[in-house]
Structure 1
Amino acid sequence: MPLTLESEDRSKDLAEAGARPSRLRRIGARLWRGAPRSALAALCGIALALSFPSAGIWPLSVLAVAGLSLLTYGRTARQGAWTGFVFGLVFMLWLLLWIDVIGYDAWALLSVAEAAFLALMGAGLAVVSRVRFWPLWTACLWVAQEWARDRVPLGGFPWGRLAFANTSSPFTPLAALGGAPLVSFAVALSGALLAAVVLALRTREGRARSTRLAAACGVGAVAAGLVGYAIPLPTAGTTAGGPASAQIAVIQGNVPHAGMDFLGRPMQVLQNHVQATVALMAEVEAGKAPRPQLVIWPENSSDVNPYTTPEAYGAIQAAAQLTGVPMLVGALVDGPDAQHVLNEGIVWDPVKGPGAHYTKQHPVPFGEYVPFRSILMKYITRLQRVARDFYPGDKTGILQVGPARIGDVICFEVAYDGIVHDAVAKGGRVIVVQTNNATYEHTDQPDQQFAMSRLRAIEHGRAVVIAATSGISAVIAPDGSVVARTRLATQAELDVKVPLRDGLTLADRLGAGPEWALSFVGLGAVAFAVWTGSAVWTRRRKRAGTPA
C-alpha cells in the first residue's frame, strides 16, 4: 500500500529525529577519543609555563615543544588546531595569571586571544609533519607564531616567546647572532628533534635505519643547544663613542602599596624617590659609596606633572642639586590635548632643570589607553579608571645623560624587539629600562620582565640598567650576568660602575631579517605540504576512476 504524503513527511521527521542523536553520539565519541590527547596537550602547556619565571625551569620549554610535536604529528589540520588551542590556552592562563589584578575577564580574554595563534600553529604543525625534514619546519612555525603575536592585534603582545624562557640557558648566546627569534628557533628545533627521536624509536620496520635516524636527530637536538657556547660575549666597555664606563646610581623609591591604586596620595611616590636619593647621597658623603655621574629614576617616579605642579618641580630640582649630576626622571605630563597624557623619561640637569625627553612609543592597550573607547566605555565601566589615553611618542629614546648616551625604553617596551633594537642601533651605549611594576608587585610579572632584560643585554652587547619604582631594579652586564639587583617592595639604591659600549652585534646588523626569513620558510612549508597532499589525493581519485 503506497504511503500518503502525510505518512512520508512523518517518516522523514522520524528519520531525522533518529539521525540527530546519532550525530550527537558521534561528536561525543570523537570528543571522548580525543580527551587523552587534550589532557596531554594541557600538561605540555603547564610544562611550558613552568619554564618561564618565576619557576624558570628552562629545559621544560624543550620538552613542551617535543610533546606538542608528538601530539600533532600525522594528525589532520583540524585535530592539530584543537590540540594547539588546548596547549596554548592552558599555557597562557598560567603564564598570564598576573593580569587578574586588572580583572579576571581581561585575563581570560587575553589568554584566549593568544591561544588562537597557537591553534593556528598547531594546524600548521600537523600539516608539515607529513613532509620530509618536518622538525625544521616545526621550528620555523614557532617563530612565525611569535612573529604574528608580536604584532597583532593592537600592536601585539610578545609575552610567552620561547626565547623569554631561555634567558639563562645554553640557547641564550644565540641572541647575539639573530636576536630573540633565533633563540626561539633553536629551542623549538631541539624540541622537534627530540620528538623525531621518539617517533624513530617507535618504528618497527627497518630497525637499523630507525636507530640511525634517532641517533642523528638526538645529536641535532643536543647541538642546537650547545652551539651557543661557541659564541663569545663581550663584557668590557669601549671608548670609540666616549668614556668606557660610567658610575650610575639607580633609585627605587617604592610605593605605598601594590595593585591598581599603587600611587597613594599625590606626591607620595615622588617624595619616596627624593628620600631614597637623599639616603644615597648621605652614603656618598660618608665615603661608603662612590659618587655617581648620573642618576636614574624609574617610570612614574614623579606621580604628578612636574611642569604644572611647582611643588613637584621644586622637589625634583632639589634632588638634582643634591646629587650635582644629571638625572633621568620618569613622569606623566600633559599630552597634546586634554584627552591625552605622555609617559616620559626627562633629563633633569641640576642647574638648568628639565631638558631633553623620551616619550613612550608603545602604550599598553586597556592599561594605558582604551581602544574603541566610545563603544567599550558603555559596557565596561571599569575602563573609566583609564581617564586619559597615553599618547604614543614617535622618536627613539636616545638621550645624553651626563657622560652616558643611553637608549631609554619604558616598561613593557623591553618586550618588543624593534624598540630596543632602535635604541641601540641609533647610538645608545647602555640600555636603560624605566619601569613601574607596582601594579603586579606580588606576581610573576616583574620576574618575567626582568628575564627579558637579561636577554636584551646579550642580544645587543650592552649593559642594561633597570630602574623600577618598587622592584626589580638591577644592573645587568653585556654578557647577561646580574651585577646587582634589589628586592621587591623595598626602598633601595644601587650605585654601580657600568660599561658603555659602541660596537653592534650581528643581531643588531640583521635586525628583524632572521625573524621574517624563518617565518616565511615555515609558512612556505605549510603551503608546500598542502599542495603535495592535494596532488596525492587527486592522483588517488583518478586511479579509483572517480573525478577529482
Structure 2
Amino acid sequence: MLSMQKKQSKKQGEQGKQGRQGERLTSLLPYLIALASGILMGLTVAPVGAWFLAWIALVPLWVLIVTSAKNQNQSPPAPPSPPAPPALFWGIGYHGVALSWITGIHPMTWLGVPWLPSLAITLFCWGFISLLGGVFVTIWAAVMVRLAEQKPWLRILIGTAVWCGLESLWSAGPLWWSSLAYTQSPHNLVIVHLGQLSGPNTVTAAIVAVNGLIAEAYINRQDTKMSSASSLRDAMRRQFVNKYLVVATGLLITLHLIGFILYSRPIAQVPEAALKVGIIQGNIPNRLLRSSEGFRRAQENYTNGYLTLAEQGVDAVLTPEGALPIFQRNLMETALVAAVKKKGVVAWIGAFGERGDSYTISLFTFNNKGEIVSRYDKAKLVPLGEYIPFEEILGGLVQRLSPLEAHQVPGSANQIFDTPFGRAIASICYESAFPEQFRYQAAAGGQFILSSSNDAHYSASMPFQHHAQDIMRAIETDRWSARATNTGYSAFVDPHGRTLWISGYNTYETHAETIYRRQTQTLYVRWGDWLTPLLLISSGGVWLVIKFSNTKKLSN
C-alpha cells in the first residue's frame, strides 16, 4: 500500500511538473510568435528580399494584441498575457534582421580599436537601434490595446494612422532607415509608386491596413466560433467575417492598380534635356583612407576614370562620397582637378569642406575650367560612422570612420545645389533614407538626382538596401538618378525606379548613361506627406465622436 502511494505521489509530481512546463511554454508562446513574425518582416529586404511577406507579417502581432486585450476584459479575466512585450519582440525581430548589416563595421582594428571593444561597440549599436524600433512598435501596441472593444474598422483606421505617425516621428530624428515602405523596394515598383501621392508613408499605410484587415478577419472568425448565437446569426456573422478578407483583397488589388497607372505613364525624353553622366566606382577600402597609399590609389583611380569617361563624350562625371579624402583647399593641387582643367568636362567630386575649425563631407561642382562653382554639405550624419553617440562613454574607445581628426558638422537642412546643367537634387550616403531632403530640393527646382555614397565599411546587404532607398526617392520625386559609390552598388535609375545599370560589388568600374532633366512635380513634392496628418485627424475625430455618443447614451 505504501509503495502504491509513493508511485501515485511520484506520478502526480511528474504530472505537476509537466503542467508547469506546459504553462511556461504557453506563456512564452506569444513572445515567440511575435518574434518570429517580426523576423519574417525583416526577411522582406536584402539580402533575402521576400517582399511579399510584408503583407502578412504584421497579422500575428495584430491578432495577439487584440485577442489578449479582449481576454483581459472578460469576466472573470483570462490569465494575463500583456500585448506590449510581444510587440517589443516583434520590433526587435524586424529591425534587428533588417539592420543586421550594422555588424559589418566590426572589426574596427584598422581604426586602432581592439577586437573585443570593437565587438562590444558593434553589438551595442545594433542592439540599441533594434530596441528603439521595438519601443516604437510597443507604443503602437499600447494604443491598439485601448481599441480592443472598438469596431474592427475603427481599429484598422486608427492602427494605420498611429503607425504612420510613429514612423514620421522616428524619421525626424537621426536614427532612421527601416520604414515598412522600403520592404517593397526594389522588387514591387508598382506599389512603391504610391509614394508619388504622399511619400513613403502611403506605402506604409497600405501595408498596415491590409495586414489589419486580414487580422480582423481571423479575430472575428474566432469570435464566431466562440459565440453561442443561433445558427442564423452565426451564418450572418460568417458572411460579415468574409467581408474582411474581401475588402483586404480588394484594397490590395486597387492599390496595385493605382500604382500600375502611375508606373505606366510614359517618361518624356526630350533631347534638349538629355545629360550624359559618367560615374566612377573607385573601390578604395576605407582602411586605406588614412594612408598615403590610399590617397595615391584614389588619385590614380579617379583621375584615370575621369579621363576614360571624358573620352567617351560624357557631359559630367560623378564621384563617390569622400572620393578624395582631403580638404577643399587642397583639391586644386590634385591630378583629378588638373584633368578637369585639361579636358573641360564638368566633375562632381566628393571631398571635405571647411567650416571654421570643423569640416563637412561635401560634394563640389567643378566647371569646365576646373573652378568650384557650387558645394553641397552632407546634412544627415551617420551615428558612430560620422559622429559618436554617447561620446562621453564611447569617445575614448572609437574615433570616427572618417580619415580626418577634426570635428565633423552637418550641412544645413535647406540647401540647393546649382550646377552648369541646372539645379540638381544632391544626396550624400545616409541621406537616402530621408525623403524630405529630396522632396525639398525637388520642390526648389531640382531636375535630377546626384547620389554620392561610401558603404565600404558595412556588410554586403547594406549597399543593396541603400540602392532600394534611392529607387524610392527617384520614384517619389519623379526624377532620374545617378548614384556613385566607392565599392558598390553604383547605379542609374529612371523616374519609374527601373535600374538601367548597376555595378558589381567591390569592383573598380566606370560607366556612362544618359539621364534627362525634369521639372515635373508629384503630389508628394507639392504637398509633402499630407496622408499621415489626414489619417490621424480623421481617425481621432471619429473616435471622439463615437466616445461622445456612447457617453451620451449611458447618461440617458
The aligned residue for residue 254 of structure 1 is 283
Give, in whole Å, the separation in 1 of the partners of 2:483 and 2:291.
Answer: 19
The aligned residue for residue 292 of structure 1 is 314
Q: CA deviation at 1:381?
A: 1.6
Cα distance, 1:513–1:388 mapped onto 2, change above 3 Å: farther
Among residues 516, 522, 538, which one is paired with 1:499 in the alignment? 516
Q: CA deviation at 1:520?
A: 5.0
8 Å contact from structure 1 (residues 255, 263) kept in 2? no
The aligned residue for residue 262 of structure 2 is 232
Give, in whole Å, the separation in 2 of the partners of 1:505 and 1:273.
Answer: 36
Among residues 148, 158, 163, which one is paired with 1:129 in the alignment? 148
Q: CA deviation at 1:430?
A: 0.8
Amino acid at match of 1:228: H
Q: CA deviation at 1:483?
A: 0.9
Q: CA deviation at 1:52?
A: 1.3
Cα distance, 1:157–1:184 mapped onto 2, change above 3 Å: same
Matches within 5 A, 1:278-289: 278-282=307-311, 284=312
Q: CA deviation at 1:50?
A: 0.4
Matches within 5 A, 1:461-500: 461-500=478-517
8 Å contact from structure 2 (residues 34, 89) kept in 1? yes
Equivalent residue of 2:450, what SS? strand
Q: Does 1:60 align with 2:77?
A: no
Is 502-511 or 265-274 further displaced after alignment? 265-274
Cα distance, 1:300–1:394 mapped onto 2, change above 3 Å: same
1:87-118 deviation digits (Å, cap 9, x = unpaired): 11122221111112341221112211221111
The aligned residue for residue 183 of structure 1 is 203
- Provide the TM-score with structure 2 as the length reference: 0.81
8 Å contact from structure 1 (residues 262, 438) kept in 2? no
1:51-85 deviation digits (Å, cap 9, x = unpaired): 11221111111111212211211334982211110
Among residues 389, 397, 415, which one is paired with 1:381 in the alignment? 397
Q: CA deviation at 1:498?
A: 0.7
Is 31-40 or 81-90 further displaced after alignment? 31-40
Amino acid at match of 2:61: L
Q: Does 1:324 align with 2:344?
A: yes
Give, in whole Å, the separation in 1 of the partners of 2:289 and 2:101.
Answer: 12
Q: CA deviation at 1:516?
A: 3.0
Give, in whole Å, the separation in 2 of the partners of 1:434 and 1:525.
Answer: 45
Equivalent residue of 1:358, what SS? strand
- Provide the TM-score with structure 1 as the length reference: 0.82
1:237-285 deviation digits (Å, cap 9, x = unpaired): 476xx93221111111111367998996334334322222233345x2x
Give, in whole Å, the separation in 1 of the partners of 2:306 and 2:165.
Answer: 45
Give, in whole Å, the separation in 2 of the partners of 1:171 and 1:436.
Answer: 28
Q: Does 1:115 align with 2:138?
A: no
Q: Does 1:99 align with 2:117?
A: no
Among residues 176, 179, 188, which one is paired with 1:158 in the alignment? 176
Among residues 167, 172, 175, which one is paired with 1:146 in the alignment? 167
Amino acid at match of 1:317: V
Equivalent residue of 2:369, what SS? coil
8 Å contact from structure 1 (residues 296, 328) kept in 2? yes
1:176-235 deviation digits (Å, cap 9, x = unpaired): 111101110011111111112222333234333333333322232223332232332445
Cα distance, 1:494–1:125 mapped onto 2, change above 3 Å: farther
Give, in whole Å, the separation in 2 of the partners of 1:298 and 1:403.
Answer: 19
Cα distance, 1:120–1:526 mapped onto 2, change above 3 Å: farther
8 Å contact from structure 1 (residues 80, 125) kept in 2? no
Give, in whole Å, the separation in 2 of the partners of 1:351 and 1:180.
Answer: 40
Amino acid at match of 1:432: L
Give, in whole Å, the separation in 2 of the partners of 1:347 and 1:63.
Answer: 46
Q: CA deviation at 1:301?
A: 0.8
The aligned residue for residue 81 of structure 1 is 84
Among residues 258, 271, 276, which one is paired with 2:300 in the alignment? 271
8 Å contact from structure 2 (residues 347, 367) kept in 1? yes
The aligned residue for residue 244 of structure 2 is 217
Is 166-175 or 351-360 further displaced after alignment? 166-175
8 Å contact from structure 2 (residues 386, 400) kept in 1? no
The aligned residue for residue 15 of structure 1 is none
8 Å contact from structure 1 (residues 294, 401) kept in 2? no
Among residues 434, 445, 449, which one is paired with 1:416 in the alignment? 434
Give, in whole Å, the separation in 1 of the partners of 2:127 and 2:292.
Answer: 26
Equivalent residue of 2:427, what SS? strand
Equivalent residue of 1:249, what SS? strand
Q: CA deviation at 1:364?
A: 2.0
Where structure 1 has 5 or more consecutive residues not aligned to the other structure, the ranges are: 1-26, 285-290, 543-548
1:290-325 deviation digits (Å, cap 9, x = unpaired): x11111111111112241365xx3322123245422
Give, in whole Å, the separation in 1 of the partners of 2:90 and 2:21.
Answer: 21
Give, in whole Å, the separation in 1 of the partners of 2:309 and 2:345.
Answer: 13
Cα distance, 1:449–1:223 mapped onto 2, change above 3 Å: farther
Q: CA deviation at 1:31?
A: 6.3
8 Å contact from structure 1 (residues 139, 185) kept in 2? yes
Equivalent residue of 1:187, what SS? helix
The aligned residue for residue 418 of structure 2 is 400
The aligned residue for residue 359 of structure 2 is 341
Equivalent residue of 1:223, what SS? helix
Give, in whole Å, the separation in 1 of the partners of 2:501 and 2:450.
Answer: 14
Equivalent residue of 1:64, what SS? coil
8 Å contact from structure 2 (residues 432, 470) kept in 1? yes
Give, in whole Å, the separation in 2 of the partners of 1:271 and 1:121.
Answer: 52
Give, in whole Å, the separation in 2 of the partners of 1:144 and 1:34.
Answer: 31
Cα distance, 1:126–1:259 mapped onto 2, change above 3 Å: farther
Q: CA deviation at 1:372?
A: 5.5
8 Å contact from structure 2 (residues 384, 400) kept in 1? no
Matches within 5 A, 1:16-27: none
Cα distance, 1:141–1:50 mapped onto 2, change above 3 Å: same
The aligned residue for residue 44 of structure 2 is 51
Give, in whole Å, the separation in 2 of the partners of 1:46 and 1:533.
Answer: 41
Q: Does 1:455 align with 2:472?
A: yes
Q: CA deviation at 1:425?
A: 0.6
Q: CA deviation at 1:356?
A: 0.9
Is 385-394 or 185-194 further displaced after alignment? 385-394
